[in-house]
Amino acid sequence: MAQMVHSAAATATPAAQPDVELRRVVKAFGAEVAVCDLDLAVRQGEFFSILGPSGCGKTTTLRLIAGFETPSAGDVLIQGANVSTVPAHRRPVNTVFQSYALFDHMTVKDNIAFGLKIRRMGTAQVRDRVAEALRLVRMESMANRYPAQLSGGQQQRVALARALVNHPAVMLLDEPLGALDQKLRKQMQVELANLHRQLGITFIMVTHDQEEALALSDRIAVMNNGQIEQIGTPSDIYDRPSTAFVADFIGDTNLLPGRIDQPHPRQVQVTTDSGLRVLACMSGSTVAQAVVVSVRPEKINLSLSAPAAANNCYQGHISHLMYLGTHLHCVVRLGSGETLMVRHPNRAESLIGVDTAVYVHWAADDCLVLDAA
């Protein structure tokens, strides 16, 4: 269902101008280039995530949109207006900070009312808007507390309310759930998704948590070294990564370097460096000699006996085994010397242990050929 809602939001205004656009943006701090030649267009109403490892430039990108940094080159556009040199306090965006940055000398109510009072809104209207924001984040009973009297999750909600009460054109979220524990994180993810649906405004979230990005986003930009590796829907990114970095960063994957020896219209045969022959489908129009085959651990099947008519089928034995509740994480050492990570469902019949001889096999459609980095 979430998927349906996402696609509806994404296709509602297909031809409209993007809400946020970065054009060939460069940001350098001294000799260090944090963001390099970045092009980005975020559609109106979209939940857009910028995902990447720490130091990849994703937070700098968000700060460029918020106005805390000015680009060294290139332009930042918000709703069609070039705001590259407009200071933060005159941009129609609001930010939820990773550290929340709540004003600890003000009550929850005053924190939320801050932006409205700055804009000299009437007292009655401020009261109504604050009440509405408090209701949205379900914090009505905490209005008169101080931030120090709140738990992390409650502070997070106040930070959200303080931003959304201003009805910004774009909400910027900098690792919004980074400081919460696992369980609260999951719960807040649902609330974030609900808020986005209710408000219908553009959300741009920076995160290093791929699961969070996959769960919440309409589209994701994967960043590495100050550049965007790929922009696409969660399933684009996960199922059809365009680079080996994306395949490796999003989820776990086995990367087998090799060379194409038989190109077909839809499938290719690759001989890996260790001598395995792998039948795989092409990603995009990549035709290159040196390639990497990517196959995800959950796409690999394990069996004790030889499977009937399988394409990519190899013999090996289990060299490591981790019990993870929902599944078993196995490392299989193949006869050719390669090791593969395999995610095996935890079922009663899975009577495997370290040193068990097994067959691994997967369908050609379940692995990808990518350019060697």
Partner 1 sequence: MKIQNSNFPYPPTLLTFPTLLTPMTPAHSPTPSNTWADRLAPRLWLGPVTLLGPAGVWLLVLLVLPTLLILEISLVPGLRLGQPSGGYGLGNYLQILQPVYLRVIWRSLVFAVGSTALCLLMGFPVAYWLALMSPQRWRNLLLVAFILPLWTSSLLRAYAWTTILRPSGVLNGMLTAIGLPAQNWLNTPTAVFIGLTYSFLPYMVLILYASLEKLDIRLLEAAADLGATPRQCFWKITVPQTLPGIAAASLLVFISTLSDFVVPTLLGGASSMNISRLIYNQFLGPTRAWGFGSALSMVLILAVSLAIALLIRYGDRNTVTEA
Residues near partner 1 (CB under 8 A) are 66-68, 87-90, 93-95, 97, 99, 101-103, 105, 114-115, 118-119, 162-163, 166
Asked whether 268 and 280 are in contact (CB, 8 A), the reply is yes
**Rounded Cα distance, 46 and 202, in Å:** 5
In terms of CB distance, is 105 or 266 closer to partner 1? 105
In terms of CB distance, is 118 or 373 closer to partner 1? 118
The CA distances from residue 78 to 46, 90, 94, 129, 140, in Å, are 14, 11, 12, 24, 32
In terms of CB distance, is 10 or 34 closer to partner 1? 34
CB 156, min distance to partner 1, A: 14
In terms of CB distance, is 148 or 348 closer to partner 1? 148
In terms of CB distance, is 166 or 224 closer to partner 1? 166
In terms of CB distance, is 66 or 130 closer to partner 1? 66
Residue type, 93: V
In terms of CB distance, is 50 or 163 closer to partner 1? 163
CB 69, min distance to partner 1, A: 11
Max Cα distance, the chain (Å): 75
Strand partners, 172: 95, 204
Strand partners, 323: 328
Asked whether 220 and 213 are in contact (CB, 8 A), the reply is yes
Please, how many CA atoms are within 13 Å of residue 15, restricted to the half-sphere of its CB?
0
CB 334, min distance to partner 1, A: 49
Residue type, 301: N
CB 111, min distance to partner 1, A: 9
Asked whether 183 and 216 are in contact (CB, 8 A), the reply is no
Place of tokens 């994701």: 220
CB 260, min distance to partner 1, A: 50
- If we measure between CA atoms, which residue out of 35, 10, 11, 34 comes closest to residue 23? 35
**Rounded Cα distance, 234 and 211, in Å:** 10
CB 105, min distance to partner 1, A: 5
CB 21, min distance to partner 1, A: 20
CB 319, min distance to partner 1, A: 39
- If we measure between CA atoms, which residue out of 235, 274, 232 comes closest to residue 257? 274
**Rounded Cα distance, 357 and 305, in Å:** 9
In terms of CB distance, is 113 or 270 closer to partner 1? 113
CB 68, min distance to partner 1, A: 6
In terms of CB distance, is 29 or 103 closer to partner 1? 103
**Rounded Cα distance, 118 and 127, in Å:** 14
In terms of CB distance, is 81 or 357 closer to partner 1? 81
CB 98, min distance to partner 1, A: 9
Number of helices (H), then strands (E), in the chain: 9, 20
Cα angle 268-270-271, degrees, rounded to a multiple of 5 = 160
Sheet containing strand 301-303, edge to edge, reads 301-303, 357-362, 312-323, 327-334, 339-345
Place of tokens 């993870």: 324
